[in-house]
Amino acid sequence: MAQIRRFKNRAQAGKLLAKALGTVVHQPDAIVLALPRGGVPVGFAVAMTLDLAFDILLVRKLGLPGQPEYAIGAVGSGGVRVLQPGVPGLMGLTQEQVDAITARELQEIERRARLYRGGRAEPVLAGKDVVLVDDGIATGSTMLAAVQVARRRQARRVIVAAPVAPPDTLAALAPLADEVVCLAAPPFFRAVSQWYEAFDQTSDEEVQDLLAMAWRSRDLAHPLRST
């Protein structure tokens, strides 16, 4: 693993991550799936650098009421739900509250799917190497949900990739993925944002633009190859 570093921005982090993934991803039909929104600029740089198909995998963190940044779990497309140990029950959370938060986030996944994908079909993952990319991993809830979605869709190999994550989260993900690639694992990890010089919020418009560029580039370069 490389030395601990701060990244200039998500695009630079993605190019550095692509170099590390170059020794891990060998199949030409592999696909990079970014976790919106912050993971999209990183994943786009990975896919463009390695000349791989690019798309998104929609997952959403389940935030604690009143403290939305505190993850109690995550949900993914297809109804996958991952909950932190002790949920429900943690901090007085009831099953009804957890279900209500889940329903709200699943609605947001559906909204983003319509917004980002338009009428474009979801990519086929069966039999392919799938690289799941985010701009960083904190608790690991959303990435775990993404891994489960990829497994359900019969991916051949699931590779988790991020520029930065805490060591304990990487250790928890390692048995669940076929490969975990991370550039920095700082022992004193507070938030993903602290490891970037520029960490502006990624907008819906940026996600749409990067997806459109990737899809157009792929369709022109590989007109007969399905993603």
Would 141 be classed as within a structural domain? yes
Chain position carrying tokens 């609605």: 107
What lies within 8 Å, CB to CB, of 216 at 6+ separation is none
Q: Domains in the chain: how many in total?
A: 1
pTM tops 0.85, yes or no: yes
Q: Which domain holds residue 62?
A: 10-221
Would 50 be classed as within a structural domain? yes
Q: Check residue 227 and give its pLDDT.
A: 46
* Neighbour tally for 224: CB within 10 Å: 5
Would 1 be classed as within a structural domain? no
In the chain, DSSP finds a helix count (H) and a strand count (E) of 6, 8
Would 116 be classed as within a structural domain? yes
CATH number assigned to the domain comprising residue 22: 3.40.50.2020
The DSSP annotation for 81-110 comes to EEE-TTTTTGGG--HHHHHHHHHHHHHHHH
Would 166 be classed as within a structural domain? yes
What's the DSSP call for residue 161? E
Tens place of pLDDT per residue across the chain (227 aa): 445 679 999 999 999 999 999 999 989 999 999 999 999 999 999 999 999 999 999 999 999 888 888 889 999 988 889 998 899 987 889 999 999 999 999 999 999 999 999 888 899 999 999 999 999 999 899 999 999 999 999 999 999 999 999 999 999 999 999 999 999 999 999 999 999 999 999 999 999 999 999 999 877 766 555 44
Would 123 be classed as within a structural domain? yes
Residue 33, SS3 per DSSP: strand
Among 36, 208, 179, 35, smallest CA distance to 117 is for: 208
Would 15 be classed as within a structural domain? yes
User: Is residue 23 packed enough to be buried (19+ CB in 10 Å), middle (13-18) or exposed (0-12)?
Assistant: exposed
Would 227 be classed as within a structural domain? no
